Structure 1
């Protein structure tokens, strides 16, 4: 399973491992954009 990632302009980036997504969310560097399929948006680049 992989997590979809969008940049702050909502352009798609590479898929990442769920552990990396969890780390970004905990550090506040990303926010959940959609639950299904699970997608996050990067806040800072």
Structure 2
């Protein structure tokens, strides 16, 4: 669920939803993001 919230936060801030930005937000929130899940979410949102 945190992956979706991170994507929504990026969208609300007007930032591009890409792997790098999503990973940064997740790390800033104190999680250890799974690169496969990040990649699949970005692909699904395109």
- Asked if Structure 1 and Structure 2 have the same fold, meaning a TM-score greater than 0.5 normalized by the shorter chain, the answer is no
Q: Which has the higher helix share?
A: 2
More strand by share: 1
TM-score (norm 1): 0.34
TM-score by length of 2: 0.33
